[in-house]
Amino acid sequence: MKKFLQLSILLAFAASYGQTTLFFDNFNPATYPTPDATANVALTGSPSNVSTALYTYTGFNSAPAGWYLASGNGTSGINCIWNSTAMTYTTNLSIQGSSISTPVSYRGTGTISVPMSSFHSSFKPILKTNSDVITWSFSMRSNRSSQLTTLPSALRSGFGMCTGVILATNGAADVAIETVGSLANGYAVLLSGDDASTANSVSFGTFDGGLSYDSVNLTSTFTSLLKVGNVPVATSMSVIVTYTPSSDTWTLKVRPDGGSSLVDPEATTANSYLDSTPVSVINGDYTSATNTNMMMYYNYNGSNGAYLDNLKVKSDAALGITENEIEGLKVYPNPVSNGTLYVTSTNNSEKQVAIYTILGQQVLQTKTTSGEINVSSLGKGGYLLKITEDGKSETKKLIIE
């Protein structure tokens, strides 16, 4: 079953050549401060702005007391952490809560927004009108040492606790998104408690009328469509969401990275991505709406924080799986379990071989005349294999175990 799911994802979301990066930010400030772990770029009001090297973000905290600005690495805004051993900075975007009960307004819902108007000009804010597959990828973490609140009460402002990324919304940057009856709707990824375990879960879904909780009916405005459960608490993870405009199809994949460092989702690690349940979903509720913002979201009821890094949005022209171009082409074994792949054909001419991740990142390029290819450096998961021989090309699915 697992192999079938991997092959299904590769068929639906093949890698591409000629990708366009619509948006990328690793939250490095334009000017680095002197080496000091407390030298951060903070949000100071509600609403307020904070700038990285490339983008200006608008923060909105529904609490009238404004942002909770802790010392050191716990700043609401851009964290700029100096590593005196490695002599480098680690930077991310964060929202911090507080255990302070007076004023209680330190607890509540916060968002940090970047306008979609700052995306590459080829991006269309009406998602359905984009011609290529849209991919969102990012790394995130909540440092709460125990399970977050489970949905739907995780969205109860100032009482629940969850975090995530609002991928696309028509909501304004300077309006409280948790207000019941808010005009905001769109698509979001939420990290919350897992109702099937003592760990957390990552859910992709829609929201209508803001991200709010109805304490009378015990419901929320968020509808979960895809879910990856049993995600370890207080550790970093990488998230990938894809949207195919032609079919209104969405997918969600999560890689538990472990530790506190936020890892680039496109980097190869010892861990593999986990597919959601179900593997994909068709939803066009808001794909024909005009979206205005992408946001970091956090609902906090204590002194924990949420962190976001390596946020990227890109478009991919889908590459179909091609067959019967190269006479007698054979690719085996597939899946590969021993680190060696063989590619043979009737002519046995020199072959150019390129392997891509489902994000379209090329991870191997080589030539072979013997047909033997060493793939031991590749992590477990699904890939696309492009073979070119005598001017003809074929693209195959490849699974590494």
DSSP states along 108-137? EEEEEEEEGGGS-TT--SSGGG-SSEEEEE
- Give the C-alpha separation, 95 to 93, whole Å: 7
DSSP secondary structure code for residue 150 in this structure: B
CA-nearest of 101, 113, 222 to 167 is 113
Report residue 155 as tokens.
């969205």
- Nearest 10 degrees: CA dihedral of 61, 65, 67, 72? -160
Map out the domains of the chain as residue ranges.
4-25+52-317, 322-400
Helical H runs in 47-87? none
* Strand stretches in 171-292, DSSP E: 185-193, 200-208, 213-214, 219-220, 222-231, 237-244, 249-256, 274-282
CATH number for region 4-25+52-317:
2.60.120
- pLDDT score of 22: 96
**Total Cβ atoms within 10 A of residue 116:** 19
- pLDDT score of 128: 96
CATH number for region 322-400:
2.60.40.10
Q: Are 241 and 167 in contact (CB under 8 A)?
A: yes
Report in angstroms the alpha-carbon separations of 226 from 127, 237, 274.
19, 16, 12
Whether the full predicted model's pTM is greater than 0.75, yes or no, is: yes
- Give the C-alpha separation, 254 to 204, whole Å: 11
- Give the C-alpha separation, 66 to 98, whole Å: 12
Per-residue pLDDT of the chain (401 residues; tens, 9 = 90+): 444 444 444 444 444 445 789 999 999 876 666 665 556 788 876 678 888 888 999 999 876 656 776 655 678 888 887 777 777 778 899 998 876 655 555 678 999 999 999 999 999 999 999 988 899 999 999 999 999 999 999 999 989 999 999 999 999 998 899 987 788 999 999 999 999 999 999 999 999 999 999 989 999 999 999 999 999 999 999 999 999 998 999 999 999 999 988 999 988 888 989 999 999 999 999 999 999 999 999 998 887 889 999 999 999 865 455 556 788 899 999 999 899 999 999 888 889 898 887 666 778 888 888 889 999 988 888 888 888 888 787 888 888 88
Q: How far is CA 322 from the centre of its chain?
A: 29
